[in-house]
Structure 1
Amino acid sequence: MAELNSTPGKSGGRRATRRIPARVDLTAMVDLAFLLITFFILTTVLTKPRVMPLAMPVPGPSGKVPETGTMTVCLGKNNQAIWYMGMAANPLTTPTQAKYGKELDAAIAAKVSEVFKRTGKGLFVIIKPSDHSVYNNLVETIDELHNERVPSYAIAKIAPEDIGFLKSKGIY
């Protein structure tokens, strides 16, 4: 298949001997080259960053969102968060502590279905990261909102009332 043939050169001696040319089979090298090329193509395709769309609100007057369809998630330290329904000044439910992963995902899923059954509209989520939260937790929360098909959410500054809720749970 792929081989390297070398022709013997003329020797300056008086007797001409016939030499058998050395044959090097390069099939294994070609196979290895294709494997390496395939490996590097696949790894570069798989490591491309995936971008999630994030729409930020336009400055100006904002529309009124009903508090019964609003869930507030405050991100704390140690991969923990609190969530409640309503606004910080007057929450409709008591703030509940949840770990990232199954606990917070289950809470969001339950509230999405509850609000949709009650109002026929989607849930509005306000995400408030604290100074002690990790950026990855914000990304995981937004990713979970996309998984649950939450139509609208906002990232807001944390209020002093929310900091009080986080401190009372020991996660600020």
Structure 2
Amino acid sequence: MENLSKKVRSKKLNTRVDLTAMVSVSFLLIIFFMVTIELAKPKMMNYYLPNCYDEVHDIGCNKPDENRILTLLLDENDKMISYMGILESPIQMPKQIKYGKSGIRQELLDKNRKVHEYSANMGRPQIGVTVIIKPSNKCNFKNLVDILDELQITGIKSFSIVDYYTPEETKLLALK
């Protein structure tokens, strides 16, 4: 009878959960998502729009001064032709320019300086040259990126990339 009066008690086990591995996995996931979010952000150049300084909005923005326009025609085999103004009556006759420091970079610096002098005489020294880049269908992407890099180096912020060639520009590229 003695045994019956003693109740058999089950042995309680200590239940303890080790969360060390779960914390490590959590930190790895947080780091992974932080890195992927940072890599997903677009990396690009700043895009500057030309300002309208004229009192008459139509003249200042829609009809820019041809003394401030430099057009660059890009074609295959690293061929680049530049002219200043409008092709029918250019301020600078079309000429072929090479890529690089002594070629297009020097041309951009010279034209920008001349346009700043011209603008200062007109009472607006802050206005620089506006570059119109016209890559042909045969132009490679590297040449376009090189021109954008040269614009960034020379500090020219007013530019446009246009994919339309006038018939006169097409003839000009075919001649030279």
TM-score when normalising by structure 2:
0.61
Give aligned pairs, total. Answer: 120
Q: How does 1:16-165 map to 2 (within 5 A)?
A: 50-54=43-47, 63-102=62-101, 103-119=103-119, 120=125, 121-156=127-162, 157-165=164-172
Aligned to 1:91, what secondary structure does the other structure show? Answer: strand
Q: Which of the pair is proportionally richer in helix?
A: 2
Identity %: 34
Give, in whole Å, the separation in 1 of the partners of 2:144 and 2:86.
Answer: 19
Letter in 1 for 2:97: A
Q: Which runs of 5+ in 2 are unaligned?
A: 1-40, 51-57, 120-124
Supply the distance in 2 between the matched residues of 1:109 and 1:56 (Cα, whole angstroms): 20
Match of 1:7 in 2: none
Q: Displacement, 1:160?
A: 1.7
Report how far residue 50 of structure 1 moved. 4.5
Q: C-alpha separation between the residues in 1 aligned to 2:48 and 2:106?
A: 25
Tell me the CA shift for residue 131 of structure 1: 1.6
Q: RMSD of aligned C-alpha atoms?
A: 2.4
TM-score, normalization: structure 1? 0.62
Contact 2:75–2:135 (CA under 8 A) maintained in structure 1: yes
Work out the CA distance in 2 between the residues paired with 1:66 and 1:139: 26
